[in-house]
């Protein structure tokens, strides 16, 4: 019978899971150095894969939870980390996971993941719903997605994703990761991003659903002026009451201005 170790070494990345296994030890070390896990942290890793990052984190953090969708990797991961003092593995879809069930009131809750490109944006939005309970998040993402998350008004990458992430978090684009750092090598560059949720939101949307809807509608037609893109949502009278230049395009409006507009509109 083949050992679990041999099974792991023969495991082929599966396209349907968006798997690209990290193999560059310098990158792995840089990621863990950026995370700087403490022994008392409660750290959740999404998509540990073959455990390249998990192994280093496990040496530094006593309380580790991992969520892995690929059931073929689960037995190997259990064997590899069975001697860890507090390791729990969940064979589950992170998009459908209740992260509050993993949290502890007495430990910093931190999230790490080499996220599959095909689910990265919806998974980020899912995790933002827990932002007030998360200390920080470190993710490997497609470089283009990280640029969108960190973009400022006026930049071509600025849009709905960046606005919604920046509403909840400070965003730091840490460093790029080339395709050669993976097996198989993806066709795009990757990057590491740190998201640090605010303890107290610097900007507060009084009716969050209005704010969310406003941003979504604005960027559905990002090449139009704000006046034209929002006319399906708000009346001419409401537009006239706004202290915003409606001749600008959606990507030229700041997060603070979107929050201010939504607060003027009230509940839609």
**188 and 249 belong to one structural domain:** no
Q: What average pLDDT is seen over the chain?
A: 91
pLDDT greater than 90 at residue 267: no
- For 144-153, the pLDDT digits (tens) are 999 999 999 9
Residue 160 has which token pair? 């709905």
Residue 163 lies in a domain: yes
Look at residue 10 in the predicted model and tell me its pLDDT. 55
pLDDT greater than 60 at residue 11: no
Give the C-alpha separation, 87 to 157, whole Å: 38
How much of the chain, in percent, has pLDDT values that exceed 90? 75
**DSSP states along the chain:** ---HHHHHHHPPP-GGGT--EE--HHHHHHHHHHH---TT-EEEEE--TTTHHHHHHHHH-SEEEEEE--TTTHHHHHHHTTTSTTEEEEES-GGG--GGGG--TTS-EEEEEE--TTTHHHHHHHHHTTGGG-SEEEEEEEHHHHHHHH--TTSTT-SHHHHHHHHHEEEEEEEEE-GGGEESPPSS-EEEEEEEE-SS-SS--SSHHHHHHHHHHHHHTTTS-HHHHSTTTS-HHHHHH--S-TTS-GGGS-HHHHHHHHHHH---
pLDDT greater than 80 at residue 87: yes
Residue 127 lies in a domain: yes
Look at residue 240 in the predicted model and tell me its pLDDT. 84
Domain count, the chain: 2
Give the C-alpha separation, 150 to 191, whole Å: 12
Look at residue 68 in the predicted model and tell me its pLDDT. 94
Look at residue 6 in the predicted model and tell me its pLDDT. 47
Q: How confident is the model at residue 20 (pLDDT cuts 50, 70, 90)?
A: confident
Task: Determine the average pLDDT of the residues in 194-198.
Answer: 98
**153 and 61 belong to one structural domain:** yes
- For 223-251, the pLDDT digits (tens) are 899 999 888 888 888 888 888 898 999 99
- Enumerate residues 6+ apart whose C-beta is below 8 A from 54: 45, 48, 64, 66, 77, 81
Look at residue 18 in the predicted model and tell me its pLDDT. 52
Residue 261 lies in a domain: yes
**62 and 168 belong to one structural domain:** yes
116 vs 161, more confident: 161
**100 and 214 belong to one structural domain:** no
CATH of the domain at 139: 3.40.50.150
- For 205-225, the pLDDT digits (tens) are 999 999 999 999 999 988 899
**20 and 119 belong to one structural domain:** yes
Look at residue 231 in the predicted model and tell me its pLDDT. 87
CATH of the domain at 223: 1.10.8.100
Look at residue 19 in the predicted model and tell me its pLDDT. 61
- Using the 3D structure, point to which of 148, 171, 197 is the last residue of a domain: 197
**82 and 176 belong to one structural domain:** yes
What is the extent of the structural domain holding 220?
208-265
pLDDT greater than 60 at residue 58: yes
- Using the 3D structure, point to which of 144, 177, 197 is the last residue of a domain: 197
Q: How confident is the model at residue 17 (pLDDT cuts 50, 70, 90)?
A: very low
Residue 92 lies in a domain: yes
Residue 202 lies in a domain: no
Q: How confident is the model at residue 57 (pLDDT cuts 50, 70, 90)?
A: very high
**150 and 100 belong to one structural domain:** yes
Nearest CA to 94 out of 108, 114, 78 is that of: 114
- The mean-pLDDT minimum among 43-52, 156-165, 227-236 falls in 227-236
- Enumerate residues 6+ apart whose C-beta is below 8 A from 143: 176, 188, 189, 190, 191
Residues 121, 161, 188: CA angle, nearest 5 degrees? 55
**181 and 250 belong to one structural domain:** no
- The mean-pLDDT minimum among 12-16, 19-23, 63-67, 207-211 falls in 12-16
Beta-strand relationship, 169-177 and 190-197: antiparallel
Q: How confident is the model at residue 50 (pLDDT cuts 50, 70, 90)?
A: confident
- Using the 3D structure, point to which of 197, 221, 254 is the last residue of a domain: 197
**118 and 249 belong to one structural domain:** no
Could you tell me the end-to-end alpha-carbon distance of the chain, in angstroms, rounded to an integer?
63
**214 and 167 belong to one structural domain:** no
**43 and 154 belong to one structural domain:** yes
Residue 105 lies in a domain: yes
């Amino acid at each position: 019978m083949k050992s679990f170790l041999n099974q792991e070494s023969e495991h082929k990345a599966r396209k349907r899971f968006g798997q690209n296994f990290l193999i560059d030890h310098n990158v792995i070390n840089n990621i863990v150095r950026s995370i700087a896990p403490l022994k008392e942290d409660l750290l959740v890793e999404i998509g540990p894969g073959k455990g390249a990052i998990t192994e280093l984190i496990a040496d530094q953090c006593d309380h580790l939870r991992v969520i892995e969708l690929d059931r073929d990797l689960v037995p190997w991961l259990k064997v590899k980390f069975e001697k860890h003092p507090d390791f729990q593995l969940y064979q589950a879809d992170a998009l459908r996971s209740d992260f509050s069930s993993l949290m502890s009131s007495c430990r910093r809750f931190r999230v790490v993941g080499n996220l599959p490109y095909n689910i990265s944006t919806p998974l980020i939005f899912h995790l933002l719903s827990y932002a007030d309970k998360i200390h920080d998040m470190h993710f490997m993402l497609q470089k283009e997605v990280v640029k969108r998350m960190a973009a400022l008004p006026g930049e071509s990458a600025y849009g709905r994703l960046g606005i919604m992430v920046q509403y909840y978090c400070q965003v730091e684009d840490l460093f790029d990761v080339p395709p050669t750092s993976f097996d198989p090598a993806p066709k795009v560059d990757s990057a590491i991003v740190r998201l640090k949720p605010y303890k107290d939101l610097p900007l507060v949307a009084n009716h969050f659903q209005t704010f969310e809807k406003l941003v979504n509608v604005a960027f559905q037609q990002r090449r139009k002026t704000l006046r034209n893109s929002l006319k399906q949502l708000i009346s001419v009278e409401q537009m006239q009451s706004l202290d915003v230049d409606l001749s600008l395009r959606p990507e030229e409006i700041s997060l603070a201005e979107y929050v201010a507009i939504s607060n003027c509109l009230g509940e839609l």
